[in-house]
C-alpha cells in the first residue's frame, strides 16, 4: 500500500478526464492524475504512483532509481502485482 | 559492510559513513527515530544498523498504518461485513491483520464477501458494477493514501453513486510525532522524516519540531545513500547546535507539498476530536473522518458501528515495540507464537511493520547462521 511505483504516461484517456494509461515494467493500466491537476503531466512524463493515483512528477532518472530500489527491497514483484491489480477487468487497454 | 558493494556508488557510501564517524561525538549516545515504516523496512533490508557507529541507535516510529490501527476498528469494520448485501473491500495489507475473531482473510474463508482492491477507485468501480450490493471500502493510511480516498469520494458524490461507502481510518502523522515527543519514557535526539507523506504535506508542518522542541528533522529518501546522508545532515545540525527542518529528498518532495492533494483532503475530511492508536493510546485530532456533506458515503453514519474496544492479546507487546520502548525481538511472542506466517500482532503482518522487518532480515539471518553452524559439525 505504501509502495511508490514509478510509471511512464503513455497516453491520456480521452473519454475520462484525469485518467492516463501508464506503463510500469511493460504492464499498462489506467492511473488517476487528479492529484496532479495543478501541474498536469502528459504523455512522456514519469510519475510516482500510490494506490492507483499519480502522486508526484519525477524525472526519468528518478523513476529508474525508484524501480531499482523496489528491486533491492524485494518489492518489485509486489509493485507489478499492484499495477496489474488496478481493476484489470475494466481497464484492459 | 557486506551490502555496500551492491549499493549504487559504493565509494560515496563509504565516504558518507566516514563522515558520519567523524561527526559523531565520542561518548555520546544518539537516538534517531525514523517515522516512516518504509524507512524501517529499508534500514533492515540494507543492514544500515551495521554500517552506522554503535552509538547511533535508530528507533522505529509509528509510520506503519496497519500497525497503529487498534484491533477494535478492524472488528467494527468486519462486523459491517456481516451484512448480506455488503462487499467488504480493503488493500491487500489489511487482509491478514488479526481482529479479535480473525483477520479479513479468515472471515472470507467463513463466507464473508471480502475483496482485495489495489486502489480505492477500484472499490468505487465495484459499486458501479454491483448496483444491488453495497460496497464498503475499509480505508487506512496516512497522508500518502488519504488524498486518493478523498478523490474517490468526490467522484462518488459527483456521479451520485449511493451504494458505496468508506469506513475511514485515515490518520495523520504530525499528532503521532507530538504524542511520541510528549511521552515521558521517550528520549530522542532527532527525526528522519517520512518521504512519501511529505510529498503531500510538504515540509512546513514539521517546523514546530525544530522550533519548539529543538529537534532536527530531515525528510529522507529511501535509498541507503539517502538515509546515510540524512544521518549526516542530522549530525551536522546537532554538532552546530542547530535544529531545523531539512529536505534531503528534494528530488521528490516539494517544500510546499501537493496542494491539489491537500485541497481534496480538506474538502472531504474533517479532523476527529480523538482517535485511538495502538501503543500510543488516544491522540486528539490525529485522524480523519468524513465531513457532514459526505455523510451519505460514510459507513459510520450509514450503519450502526459498535465502537468496540479490544485490547491486544495480553502476551503481545505491540504497543511497547511501536513506541520504541522494546526492540521487536524483546517481545515475549517474537519468533515463537508470532511470526510473519502466523502473526499475532499487526507489526508482524506488513513489510513495514518493525517486527516483520526484523524477523525477515535479522532473525532469519540468525536462524540461517545457526543452521549452517549446526550442519558444519
What pLDDT, in 10s, does the model give residues B310-335?
888 778 888 888 888 889 999 999 99
Contact B260 A35 (CB under 8 A): yes
A48, β-bridge pairs:
A6, A56
Question: Rounded CA gap, B97 and B344, in Å?
Answer: 8
Query: Are residues B258 and A59, on separate chains, in Cβ contact within 8 Å?
Result: no
Please tell me the total number of residues recorded for chain A in this structure.
93
Cβ-based contacts of B116 with chain A (< 8 Å) = 85
Backbone angles phi, psi at B295, to 5 degrees: -55, -35
Q: Residue B153 and residue B137: Cα distance in Å, rounded?
A: 10
Within a domain: A40:
yes
Reply yes or no on whether the pLDDT at A92 is more than 70. no
A32 in B contact zone (CB under 8 Å): yes
List of chain B residues whose C-beta atoms are within 8 Å of the C-beta of residue A86: 118-119, 122
Place of cell 491522540: B283
Compute CA distances A87 → A19, B125, B126, B151, whole Å.
Answer: 13, 8, 9, 17
Assembly ipTM = 0.93
Facing B141 at nearest CB: one of A1, A48, A74: A1
Q: How many domains does chain A have?
A: 1
CATH classification of the domain holding A14: 2.30.30.140
Copy the grid coordinates of residue B9: 556508488
Domain membership of residue A61 (yes or no) is: yes
Span A1-58, pLDDT tens digits = 568 999 999 999 988 879 999 999 999 999 999 999 999 999 999 999 999 999 999 9
Give domain limits for chain B: 1-313, 318-376
Query: CATH topology for B1-313?
Result: Rossmann fold (3.40.50)
> Which residues of chain B register pLDDT less than 70?
1-6, 371-377
Mean pLDDT score across all residues of chain B:
92
Tell how strand B281-284 and strand B245-247 pair up.
Answer: unpaired
pLDDT at B4: 67
On whether the CB atoms of residues B317 and B332 are closer than 8 A, the answer is yes
Long-range pairs for B40-44: beta carbons < 8 A, 24 or more residues apart: B40/B64, B40/B352, B40/B353, B40/B354, B40/B357, B41/A73, B41/B351, B41/B352, B41/B357, B42/A73, B42/B222, B42/B223, B42/B224, B42/B227, B43/B227, B43/B357, B44/B357, B44/B358, B44/B360, B44/B361, B44/B362
Report yes or no on A92 lying in a domain.
no
What are the backbone dihedrals phi and psi of residue B164, each rounded to the nearest 5 degrees, phi first?
A: -135, 135
Asked whether the CA dihedral B149, B154, B159, B165 is positive or negative, the reply is positive
* pLDDT of A93 over the 50 cut: no
Question: What would the pLDDT profile of B104-128 be if each residue is shown by its tens digit?
Answer: 999 999 999 999 999 999 999 999 9
How far the first Cα of chain A sits from its last, in Å, is 23
- Look up cell 480523519; give the residue: B288
CB B279 within 8 A of CB B319: yes
Given a contact cutoff of 8 angstroms between Cβ atoms, the answer to whether A38 and B259 are in contact is yes
Residue A82 pLDDT class (50, 70, 90 cuts): very high
Q: Tell me whether residue A93 is in a domain.
A: no
How confident is the model at residue B132, as a pLDDT? 97
Give the span between the Cα atoms of A75 and A86, in whole angstroms: 17
pLDDT at B133: 97
CA-nearest residue to B263 within chain A is: A35
Q: What is the dihedral of CA B187, B190, B191, B192, to 10 degrees?
A: -130
Looking at the domain assignment, is residue A91 inside a domain? no
Amino acid at each position: 500500500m505504501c509502495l511508490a511505483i514509478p510509471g511512464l504516461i503513455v497516453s491520456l484517456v480521452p473519454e475520462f478526464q484525469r485518467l492516463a494509461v501508464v506503463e510500469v515494467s511493460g504492464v499498462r493500466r489506467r492511473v488517476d492524475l487528479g492529484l496532479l491537476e495543478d501541474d498536469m503531466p502528459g504523455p512522456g512524463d514519469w510519475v510516482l504512483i500510490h494506490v492507483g493515483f499519480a502522486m508526484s512528477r519525477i524525472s526519468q532518472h528518478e523513476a529508474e532509481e525508484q524501480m531499482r530500489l523496489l528491486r533491492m527491497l524485494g518489492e518489485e514483484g509486489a509493485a507489478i502485482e499492484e499495477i496489474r491489480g488496478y481493476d484489470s477487468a475494466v481497464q484492459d487497454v | 559492510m557486506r551490502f555496500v558493494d551492491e549499493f549504487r556508488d559504493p565509494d560515496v557510501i563509504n565516504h558518507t559513513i566516514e563522515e558520519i564517524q567523524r561527526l559523531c561525538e565520542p561518548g555520546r549516545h544518539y537516538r534517531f527515530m525514523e517515522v516512516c515504516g518504509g524507512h524501517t523496512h529499508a534500514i533492515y533490508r540494507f543492514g544500515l544498523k551495521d554500517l552506522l557507529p554503535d552509538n547511533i541507535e535508530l528507533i522505529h516510529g509509528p509510520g506503519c498504518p496497519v500497525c497503529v490501527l487498534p484491533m477494535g476498528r478492524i472488528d467494527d469494520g468486519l462486523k459491517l461485513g456481516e451484512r448480506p448485501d455488503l462487499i467488504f473491500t480493503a488493500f491487500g495489507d489489511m487482509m491478514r491483520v488479526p481482529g479479535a475473531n480473525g483477520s479479513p482473510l479468515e472471515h472470507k474463508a467463513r463466507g464473508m464477501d471480502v475483496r482485495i482492491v489495489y486502489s480505492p477507485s477500484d472499490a468505487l468501480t465495484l459499486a458501479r458494477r454491483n448496483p444491488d450490493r453495497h460496497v464498503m471500502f475499509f480505508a487506512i493510511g496516512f497522508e500518502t493514501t488519504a488524498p486518493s480516498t478523498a478523490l474517490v469520494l468526490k467522484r462518488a458524490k459527483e456521479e451520485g453513486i449511493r451504494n458505496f461507502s468508506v469506513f475511514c481510518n485515515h490518520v495523520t502523522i504530525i499528532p503521532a510525532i507530538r504524542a511520541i515527543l510528549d511521552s515521558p519514557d521517550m528520549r530522542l535526539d532527532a527525526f528522519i522524516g517520512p518521504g512519501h507523506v511529505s510529498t503531500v504535506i510538504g515540509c512546513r508542518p514539521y517546523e514546530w519540531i525544530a522550533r519548539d522542541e529543538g529537534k532536527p528533522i530531515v525528510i529522507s529518501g529511501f535509498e541507503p545513500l539517502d538515509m546515510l546522508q540524512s544521518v549526516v545532515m542530522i549530525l551536522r545540525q546537532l554538532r552546530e547546535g542547530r535544529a531545523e527542518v531539512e529536505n534531503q529528498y528534494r528530488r521528490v518532495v516539494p517544500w510546499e507539498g501537493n496542494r491539489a492533494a491537500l485541497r481534496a483532503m480538506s474538502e472531504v475530511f474533517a479532523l476527529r476530536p480523538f482517535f485511538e492508536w495502538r501503543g500510543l493510546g488516544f491522540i486528539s485530532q490525529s485522524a480523519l473522518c468524513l465531513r457532514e456533506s459526505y455523510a451519505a458515503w460514510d459507513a459510520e453514519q450509514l450503519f450502526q458501528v459498535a465502537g468496540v474496544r479490544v485490547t491486544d492479546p495480553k502476551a503481545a507487546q505491540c504497543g511497547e515495540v511501536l513506541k520504541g520502548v522494546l526492540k521487536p525481538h524483546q517481545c515475549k511472542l517474537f519468533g515463537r507464537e508470532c511470526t510473519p506466517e502466523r502473526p499475532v500482532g499487526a507489526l508482524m503482518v506488513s513489510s513495514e511493520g518493525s517486527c516483520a522487518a526484523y524477523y525477515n532480515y535479522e532473525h532469519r539471518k540468525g536462524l540461517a547462521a545457526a543452521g549452517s553452524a549446526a550442519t558444519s559439525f
